[in-house]
Structures are given as structure tokens and as C-alpha cells.
Amino acid sequence: MSSSALLARTAAPRRAWFADLPVLAVAVVWGGSYLAAKGITTGHTVIAVLVLRFAVVLPVLAVAGWQRLRALTAGQVRGAGLLGLVLGGIFLLETYGVVHTSATNAGLIISLTMIFTPLAEAAVRRKAPSGAFLAGAAASVAGVVLLTQGAGFTVPGLGDLLILGAALARTLHVLLMARIKAVQDADSLSLTTVQFGGAVLVFAVLAAVPGTGDGPWAAAAGFGAAEWAGLAFLSVFCTLFAFFVQMWAVRRSSPSRVSLLLGTEPLWAAAAGIAIGGEHLGPAGLAGAALVLGGTAWGRRAVTG
């Protein structure tokens, strides 16, 4: 083998890892987002924090993609706006949920999206999923049952149920993206900007309703250095950085490789909750976490072949 061919063979894995590391960083910061949201949010400040989080990001996206944003058709704006309403619902469920449960539970339960989405797609196509996938789904559901039981079998808490609702809403979001024809050919930056705008509109309307908690300015006035650091982490790293890395990575890697790396998010959520947040999983919780991670990995592998 010539030296040039040998160099080419060794350079290819290096290029793959060069693209993988930023995506893995996204999975890490997403895993840490549950603990960060829990640290700066209370039941009275959920909507205010969401307004602040996206108000920081939206102008940057709008300026970065202004020309392509203006090129969107009316149909594409309507489709992206609908997706933005669903996205707003996802963030509301996730943020309210993490206030009432542990960051570890939130990160692991939300991973059920990887099971729910193929099941919903199979139902839409009227095609039964494989036995291997169903086995992985059953293991994941059993894991969530164990994970949400602290000292004995009880009804899952409100936060766990809200996070489960967020996983279902994520599934709806994915299905709508695949079925709304107008958005399928839209520029991804413009599509995301309109979606974020729709989500901010949802949060702003709710913030104006009496009894929904503190307003954004009131919440911001009560922030200390730790809260501002947490908000910056959620806005800059978990939203802006994560979006641009995904756009960059899918052009330099494969969608399946990106999906596999992002699928490690629950591991990092559990690691952050236990190592930084001081959360504790008993024997049942550890068994449940293992079943959720193993079941979702098994189900994903069955879907991708």
C-alpha cells in the first residue's frame, strides 16, 4: 500500500471523530440542561424562564438567516408556525416536569421518545413493528416504572407524568415535520427560527395571563449570578450552540451517526443529576435506568437494522 493511501485511510477516522466530538458535546450539554433548568426554575417562574431563554436566542437566529428567512413561502411559515406551537408545548411540559421530578428521571424518561416515535410511525403506516423493537420498548417501559418508584411501588409523580407527556409531544413534533409537506424543503435555519418564534409567542401569551406566575422582568430582577449563569447555559449552549452543531454535523457525518451520539443524552442527564445535583437512585432506580438505556438502544438498533 502506498504512503498516500495509508495516510488517506488514517485521516478518514480522524475526520469522523472531528465531526463526532461537537455532537457528543451537544449530548452532554443537553444532558445537563435538566439540572440547569431545575436549578433556576420554580413553579412560579417556568414561563418567565422560557421567555428569557428563547428571547436571547431568537434575535441571533433571525439576524444570521435573515435573507433565507425572507425567502420562505406563506405555506412554509404556516407549517413552521404550527411546529413552533407544538415545540412550545414540549418545553412547557419538560420545564414544569423537571421542577417536580429529578433531573435524572427527566433525562431518562424523555428518552422514551426514541421508542414512541417508531411506534407512532408504524401505526400511521399500519405496519407492525418487529418483535425485537417491541421487546426493547417493553424493557424501556418497565425501566420507567422501576425508575419512578422510590420506596415501593406508587403512582408516578406529577413531574414524571409531565416528562412522559413531553416525550409524547416530541413524537408528535417529529411526525408533523415528516408529514407537513410545506416544511420539508424549507431551509433548516429559517424553519428553526420560525419555530422558535412560535414557541416564544406561546410563552409570551401565557406570561400575560394572570395567575401563570412571575413575569419575565420580575423573574430576571430576582436572578443572582448563579441563575444568570444557568440561563446563559440553557440559551447559548443548550439551544444556540446545539442547533448550529447539528446543522454543521449532518453535512460532515451521517444522520444515523449523529442520532446515535445524541442518543447518549440520558446517560449525561443521569451523570449530572447524580454527580452534581446530589440525586440518588436506589437499587430499583438503578435497575430501571439500565432497562431504559438498554431498551431504547435495543429499540433504536431494531429500527435501523
pLDDT at residue 154 tops 70: no
Task: Give per-residue pLDDT as tens, 181-206.
Answer: 888 788 888 888 999 999 999 999 99
Distance, CA of 180 to CA of 94 (rounded, Å): 24
What nine digits make up the cell of 150?
A: 422510590
pLDDT at 6: 44
What is the pLDDT, as a whole number, of residue 265?
Answer: 83
Q: pLDDT for 166-179, tens place per residue?
A: 999 998 998 888 88
pLDDT digits (tens, 9 = 90+) for 218-271: 888 889 999 999 999 999 999 889 888 877 776 666 655 666 677 778 888 888
36 in Cβ contact with 273 (< 8 Å): no
Q: Nearest 5°: CA angle at 76, between 74 and 78?
A: 70
pTM exceeding the 0.85 threshold for the entire prediction? no
- Average pLDDT of the chain, as a whole number: 83
Residue with cell 443529576: 273
Residue 247's pLDDT is 72
- Position 259 scores a pLDDT of 67
Whole-number Å distance between alpha carbons of 287 and 255: 30
- Is residue 93 within 8 Å of 166, Cβ to Cβ? yes
**Residue tagged 440559551 (cell numbers):** 235
263: its cell numbers: 442518543
209 in helix, strand or coil? Answer: coil
**Lowest mean pLDDT across 32-46, 67-81, 98-112, 239-253:** 239-253
Provide the grid cell at 145: 416504572
Count of helix runs (H) and strand runs (E) in the chain: 16, 0
